[in-house]
Amino acid sequence: MSTVVGIIMGSQSDWPTMREAAEILDALGISYEARIVSAHRTPDRLWSYGREAAGRGLKVIVAGAGGAAHLPGMMASKTRLPVIGVPVQTRALSGVDSLYSIVQMPRGFPVATMAIGAAGAANGGLMAASILALGDAALAERLEAWRADLSNSIPEVPEDV
């Protein structure tokens, strides 16, 4: 099975957050790769990753970064693949810096921006799954089942009431 999702992140320190996206993709049987690609520290790697992504068969990129989080936007500039941005939570500014760096893209080069932190990364995985499910009936069924399981796990009556 060829790899269809690229999970990329600015630093090793983003992996505890971005792992949440990987876990969703694992649960849904979607193949992915995880790579450290930084617009600031490894610009040549970003350039070649973006240039080759579609040709290698990737279909969606989930990009997480913190602080001056230029990675998702720069990747969106370099590839026509959908780029889902995950603002990693930061200590100094709680991830608002990451969010603002990712979300306000200029017209023409969108990044589908998720919420700050781990929930955003998990939703990034789910958003990638939704996109892929448009052309994959078996995955669509797995995604429906995953969503139903989550709904069914929510009790109607709060505990200790």
Ligand X SMILES: Nc1c(C(=O)O)ncn1[C@@H]1O[C@H](COP(=O)(O)O)[C@@H](O)[C@H]1O
Residues annotated within the binding site for substrate are 11, 14, 41
- List, as own/partner pairs, every contact residues 106-109 make where C-beta atoms lie below 8 angstroms and the sequence separation is at least 24, other chains included: 109/73, 109/76, 109/77
Using rule CB under 6 A, residue 70 touches ligand X: yes
Using rule CB under 6 A, residue 10 touches ligand X: yes
On whether the CB atoms of residues 86 and 18 are closer than 8 A, the answer is yes
Using rule CB under 6 A, residue 38 touches ligand X: yes
Q: How far apart are CA 53 and CA 145, in angstroms?
A: 30
Q: How far is CA 21 from CA 33, 43, 55, 123, in A?
A: 11, 24, 23, 7
CB of 124 to ligand X, least distance (A): 14
Q: How far apart are CA 71 and CA 101, in angstroms?
A: 9
Please name the amino acid found at residue 21.
A
Size of the site for ligand X (CB under 6 A): 17
Using rule CB under 6 A, residue 124 touches ligand X: no
Sole window of 32-40, 114-122, 133-141, 153-161 interacting with ligand X (rule: CB under 6 A): 32-40
CB of 59 to ligand X, least distance (A): 22
Q: Which is nearer to ligand X, 38 or 123 (CB)?
A: 38
Using rule CB under 6 A, residue 13 touches ligand X: yes
Residue with tokens 């990675």: 71
| E strand intervals along 1-122 | 5-9, 32-36, 60-66, 83-88, 112-113
Member of 4, 7, 18, 39 binding ligand X (CB under 6 A)? 39
Member of 4, 5, 14, 18 binding ligand X (CB under 6 A)? 14
Kind of pairing between the strands at 83-88 and 32-36:
unpaired
Q: Which is nearer to ligand X, 13 or 31 (CB)?
A: 13
Q: Which residues contact ligand X (rule: CB under 6 A)?
A: 9-11, 13-14, 38-41, 65-71, 88
